[in-house]
Amino acid sequence: MKRTWLLFTQTVTIALAVYFVVSVFKPQWVGRPSFGGGVVSLLEAPQTPLTTPEAGSLSGAAKKAAPAVVSITTSKTAVRNPRMNDPWFRFFFGNQAPSQPQAGLGSGVIVSPEGYILTNNHVVEGADEIEVMLPDSRQARARLIGTDPETDLAIVKIDLDKLPIIVLGDSDRIEVGDRVLAIGNPFGVGQTVTSGIVSALGRNQLGINTFENFIQTDAAINPGNSGGALVDVRGTLLGINTAIFSRSGGSMGIGFAIPVSTAKRVLESIVRDGRVTYGWIGVEPGELSPELAETFGVKASRGVIITGVLQAGPAAAAGIRPGDVIVQVGDKPIANVAELLSSVAALQPGSPAAFGLMRGDSKIEVPVTPAVRPARARLQQQQQQE
């Protein structure tokens, strides 16, 4: 009996020793948490893999959109004063060195597998060379395909394989208060993502572009962000970041983006035709005021009053005359000059459109066939007639 008890105690002792050694060096064999050197390591504790972003996180949208947002670097070669060929100029002023080369920074958005990139016209305007860098560190020389100074948009193209493409969203369905992200390369520090909300829609009369219909956001936009992407919480493109309101040069929470609906139309026109065509009817519009309404004897409380009509222009041919108030173009109501400019510009040249007018105290409708909007220089000569 004594011998049996001794054998039992020895067996239990050896079993406990084996269990202790195994639990220290191979804890997974006995279902215990891992030990490191005898001390529990929290970093080595089993972790639950994160398969979805944390609630409220915008990381999914950023990961989806950011690969398609590129950095654009432009350069202008030094310019030699043409008067340096004149010996008398050199005699009096000496040999002057050429002006220093200029460089610029901006952003762009890849919108097609063929390598078309949307950016701002002011980012690439006058550039002799355009370099594009992708977030994956690939670089390529870009070709300028076309520009539209009227909307401050431009299209450049790169030739690279397996390009990340951003998904175009619907800027006509967004609402004030929707959450958005601004992605770009501010100050050349590298790709940066900021967040905010849509602060306002349809901003115009800012004096930035000829045709203005900006999305306003409080997402931080700084120099270098121009041409970058404004995206929604799904990572789809809502607009092209274009301008900021600032007294210091930095973000003050008031930024403006061109809606993707406008950018898409400009992209398609430039790629298809090499330029963008806008409708034009040849009138001189003015904001309607009680004084003007009384002067012209018109009974209208809203709309755009016509103070001048270009002879032989589309509006004159349709019978529009000074004193008429345009209150509607197609099915879109008109409240101010900016809305009239945008609505007329969106018309297809050569295709008649219905214009709703107030003439005196009568409302009439006339069909107007718009022509192609003249170049900006000619418009200035025509006193900015629309």
Question: Tokens in use for 330?
Answer: 């197609």
Indicate whether 233 and 199 sit together in one domain.
yes
Instruction: With respect to residue 141, please indicate whether it lies within any of the assigned structural domains.
Output: no
The pLDDT assigned to 203 comes to 81
Indicate whether 305 and 248 sit together in one domain.
no
What CATH number does residue 332 fall under?
2.30.42.10
Residues 297 and 322: their CA atoms lie apart, in Å, by 11
Active site residue 273: no
Indicate whether 219 and 193 sit together in one domain.
yes
Is a pLDDT exceeding 50 seen at residue 77?
yes
Indicate whether 283 and 377 sit together in one domain.
yes
Residues 230 and 107: their CA atoms lie apart, in Å, by 12
Instruction: With respect to residue 258, please indicate whether it lies within any of the assigned structural domains.
Output: yes
Confidence of residue 249 (pLDDT cuts 50, 70, 90): low
pLDDT tens string 329-367: 988 888 888 888 888 988 888 999 999 998 888 899 999
Indicate whether 325 and 250 sit together in one domain.
no
Active site residue 331: no
Q: Which of 71, 171, 226, 342 is catalytic?
A: 226
Which of residues 221, 244, 273 is at a domain's end? 273
Task: Find, among 331, 321, 334, the residue nearest to 283 by Cα.
Answer: 321
pLDDT tens string 2-43: 666 666 666 767 766 666 665 655 555 555 544 444 433 333
Neighbours of 96 (CB within 10 A): 12
Q: Are 302 and 269 in contact (CB under 8 A)?
A: no
Instruction: With respect to residue 285, please indicate whether it lies within any of the assigned structural domains.
Output: yes
Number of folded domains in the chain?
3
Residue 133 phi/psi, 5-degree rounding, is: -120, 125
Active site residue 269: no
Q: Are 335 and 303 in contact (CB under 8 A)?
A: yes
Indicate whether 230 and 187 sit together in one domain.
yes
Residues 122 and 186: their CA atoms lie apart, in Å, by 15
Is a pLDDT exceeding 80 seen at residue 386?
no
Confidence of residue 248 (pLDDT cuts 50, 70, 90): low
What residues make up the domain containing 198? 171-273
Choice between 241 and 296, residue whose per-residue pLDDT is larger? 241
Which of residues 273, 295, 323 is at a domain's end? 273
pLDDT above 90 covers a percentage of the chain that reads 38
H or E segment at 9?
Answer: helix 2-25
Indicate if the alpha-carbon torsion angle 378, 379, 381, 382 is positive or negative: positive
Indicate whether 374 and 296 sit together in one domain.
yes
Instruction: With respect to residue 349, please indicate whether it lies within any of the assigned structural domains.
Output: yes
Indicate whether 254 and 285 sit together in one domain.
no
H or E segment at 197?
Answer: strand 192-203
Indicate whether 229 and 258 sit together in one domain.
yes
What CATH number does residue 228 fall under?
2.40.10.10
Lowest mean pLDDT among 6-15, 172-181, 278-287: 6-15
Q: Which of 107, 148, 152, 171 is catalytic?
A: 152
Indicate whether 353 and 299 sit together in one domain.
yes
Q: Are 318 and 355 in contact (CB under 8 A)?
A: yes
Instruction: With respect to residue 82, please indicate whether it lies within any of the assigned structural domains.
Output: no
Residues 225 and 83: their CA atoms lie apart, in Å, by 38
The pLDDT assigned to 343 comes to 86
Task: Find, among 270, 281, 217, the residue nearest to 244 by Cα.
Answer: 217
Indicate whether 297 and 259 sit together in one domain.
no
Q: Would you call 359 helix, strand, or coil by DSSP? A: strand
Indicate whether 284 and 377 sit together in one domain.
yes
Instruction: With respect to residue 87, please indicate whether it lies within any of the assigned structural domains.
Output: no
The pLDDT assigned to 128 comes to 87
Which of residues 211, 238, 273 is at a domain's end? 273
Residues 100 and 175: their CA atoms lie apart, in Å, by 46
Instruction: With respect to residue 76, please indicate whether it lies within any of the assigned structural domains.
Output: no
Instruction: With respect to residue 377, please indicate whether it lies within any of the assigned structural domains.
Output: yes
Question: Tokens in use for 88?
Answer: 């008398």
pLDDT tens string 234-243: 999 999 998 8
Question: Tokens in use for 324?
Answer: 């008429």
10 Å CB burial of residue 189 (0-12, 13-18, 19+) is: exposed
Q: Would you call 175 helix, strand, or coil by DSSP? A: coil
Q: Which of 71, 107, 122, 148 is catalytic?
A: 122
Residues 313 and 316: their CA atoms lie apart, in Å, by 5
Task: Find, among 234, 240, 236, the residue nearest to 217 by Cα.
Answer: 240
pLDDT tens string 45-58: 344 444 455 667 88
